[in-house]
Structure formats: C-alpha cells, structure tokens
Amino acid sequence: MGLREALKKTRSNLSKNIRNLLGRRDPSLLGEIEDLLIQADFGVSTAEQLVESLENVQSQDYYSRLEKELIYLLNEREKKKQTPKPPVVELYVGVNGVGKTTTIGKRGYMLAKEGKKVLLASGDTYRTGAVEQLSKWAKRIGVDIITSHYGADSASVAFDAVDAAETRNMDYLLIDTAGRLHTRSNLMEEMRKMKRVISKKREDLPQETILVVDASTGQNALEQAKSFNEFIGLTGIALAKLDGTAKGGMAIAIVKELGIPVLFLGIGEEEEDLIPFNAEDFVCALFE
Ligand SMILES: Nc1nc2c(ncn2[C@@H]2O[C@H](COP(=O)(O)OP(=O)(O)OP(=O)(O)O)[C@@H](O)[C@H]2O)c(=O)[nH]1
Ligand SMILES: [Mg+2]
C-alpha cells in the first residue's frame, strides 16, 4: 500500500467536503472549513491558524494556500541532525497495542535493506508472547536480536543490549518496550529508568526516543504525546496504522502543538509498510 492509498479515508472526508464549500462565497465559509479541519483531527488551534491564513486569499486559491501553509508548518519542525555516532539507539515507547513491535520490525527491515547492521532488543518483559513476536520479526528480516525472559528487569535488558550493540559494532539498536498507559505513573517511571540506564552507558544514547501512536486514535494521541514527552522527552513520532483511518490530520496537531517531528508512517502490517515522513508527500496525499 502506498501513502496515497493509506490516506484515502482522511482525504476523501476532507477534500470532498472542502471542495463542496469552495463554490460558495458567504461569510460562514471559513468557519465551515475550520470545522472540517477539526473533524479531520488537525486540532483546534491548528485549524484556527490555517483558516486565518486564508483570510485575504481568493477562494479559488484556498487549496493551494492550505497546502503551502501545512508544508511550512510540518517542515518548520523538522530538525537538522548531526550525524550520530554508532550504534544509533532507537527506543520505541507508547501505549498498549499501538504498533511498537511491528514498527520496529519494519524499521529494522528498512535499515537492513540500506545495508546497515541492525540489532533488535526485546525490552517488553511484561506481555507473554512479546519476546517471541519480536524474535519472529528478527528472523523474518534477517537481523540479530537480544531476547529477554518474561518478568526480567527491562532496564537491565536495555543495558545489556547497548553493550552487545557496541561489542558487535552494530550501526543500529532498536529497543522494544512494553505498552503502557500514559496515566500510569509507576509504569512511566519504569520507562524513565530504562532510558536513564541507557544514557549511563553513553550520554548521547539513546539518540532517538520514538513514540508510536495509533493514527486512528485522533486527538487522544496528542495527550499521549504530551505525557510521554513530559516523562522522558521524545525525539520523534511514528504514526502507525495510517491505513484505514480518516484521522490522518492528527499528525499535524502533534507537530504543531508539541514541536516533535513525525519520522515514520506505518501503512500496513508487512515489512515494507513503513515509510519515512516527508511533508510535501504527506500534504499532497492528504488533499489531492
Ligand atoms: N493495518 C496496520 N496494522 C498495524 C500497523 N502497525 C501495527 N499493526 C497491527 O497492530 C497490531 C498491534 O501491533 P503491535 O506491534 O503488536 O503493537 P504493540 O504496540 O507492540 O503492542 P503491545 O506490545 O501489546 O503494547 C498488530 O496486529 C499489528 O499487525 C499498521 O501500520 N497498519
Ligand atoms: Mg509490542
């Protein structure tokens, strides 16, 4: 599945309705466009800002103006990063069932295809079957894995994994974690410990702390991003399950409100179904 296909539902909701409105010229038009953007989960303040940008624009140019504003908004937040020192450690966090383990499998595949040496680590010691699930991915994409056993201390699993990645000269270490609700402070605390232990090994690690969110969650994903960001500091968002949702606009709300860049889009369950985020492609697929 491609990006265009994945964003089909969000787009058809949005474009069809906006197109219907554009023929009109009455004073309530902008208000109605704002409502549509909110319905597509752009978030209230983003929708307001976008509509304000249309105020002195001819209605036939609304579309192109919206596209330009969105691309600007999404690109503005994209950080220019220095080349990190290997191993690049990516810690994947998020609430239960959002797609963390699957995203890691797909990300590992993406990196392995680029010729990178990839190690996976199973830091989910809570859910039965979690280690096996990641092991299956490792086998499927042909990369190594550090496993753990049920009930083990996830921080020490992470610590050992960083050790292994260094001794084996890995380019990337992708660490899976157990799903946790952002409102459960004991579980959030445990995750913080995991990150702290990793940075004790080397202070620039982990270079990425990535929150995986389920795109169909809509605005609650923004709450998740806020909490996780307050607790451990996020460097990026992976937006999973973008296929089959009409709430794709949520990506924009997260970038705008929290300034955290979207790094990846998950558009299916197969290994090739993860694509690097690109603002222009995303906005085009959203409106076209
Ligand atoms: N359609 C679709 N399904 C996905 C995507 N990403 C993950 N899934 C599915 O979502 C379900 C949950 O995915 P997991 O990767 O196990 O989620 P998780 O966050 O690791 O779950 P826990 O470890 O239990 O918290 C699985 O059935 C995945 O195949 C995606 O981008 N698109
Ligand atoms: Mg998992």
Residue pLDDT, tens place only, 100-157: 999 999 999 999 999 999 999 999 999 999 999 999 999 999 999 999 888 899 999 9
Sequence-ordered list of residues with C-beta below 8 angstroms from that of 222, at least 6 positions apart, any chain? 43, 250, 253, 254, 257, 258
Q: Could you say which DSSP state residue 261 is in?
A: P
Give 92 Cα–ligand 1 centroid separation in angstroms. Answer: 13
Q: Which residue has the higher pLDDT, 43 or 167?
A: 167
Q: What is the pLDDT of residues 30-60, one digit of tens each?
A: 888 899 888 888 888 889 999 999 988 888 8
Pocket of ligand 1 contains residue 132 by CB under 6 Å? no
Ligand number with the minimum distance to the CA of 137: 1
**Gap between the Cα atoms of 270 and 234, Å rounded:** 26
Give 263 Cα–ligand 1 centroid separation in angstroms. Answer: 17
> 33 near 54, Cβ under 8 Å?
yes
Task: Choose among 175, 207, 214: nearest CA to 95.
Answer: 214
Q: How many residues does the chain have?
A: 288
> 288 near 15, Cβ under 8 Å?
yes
Torsion sign over Cα 172, 173, 179, 183:
negative
Question: Please, is 173 exposed, middle or buried when counting C-beta atoms within 10 Å of its C-beta (0-12, 13-18, 19+)?
Answer: buried
Q: Could you say which DSSP state residue 60 is in?
A: G
Pocket of ligand 1 contains residue 213 by CB under 6 Å? no
pLDDT of 282 > 80? The answer is yes
- The pTM of the full predicted model, rounded to 2 decimals, is 0.92
Ligand number with the minimum distance to the CA of 122: 2
Give 268 Cα–ligand 2 centroid separation in angstroms. Answer: 16
> 72 near 86, Cβ under 8 Å?
no
Pocket of ligand 1 contains residue 105 by CB under 6 Å? no
Instruction: Give the percent of the chain with pLDDT over 70.
Output: 96
Which ligand 1 atom is nearest residue 274's CA?
A: 31
What strand order describes the sheet that includes 208-214? 144-146, 118-123, 172-177, 88-93, 208-214, 236-240, 262-266, 274-276
Pocket of ligand 1 contains residue 20 by CB under 6 Å? no
Torsion sign over Cα 193, 190, 147, 272:
negative
Pocket of ligand 1 contains residue 241 by CB under 6 Å? yes
Give 127 Cα–ligand 2 centroid separation in angstroms. Answer: 8
Q: Which residue's CA lies nearest to atom 7 of ligand 1?
A: 99
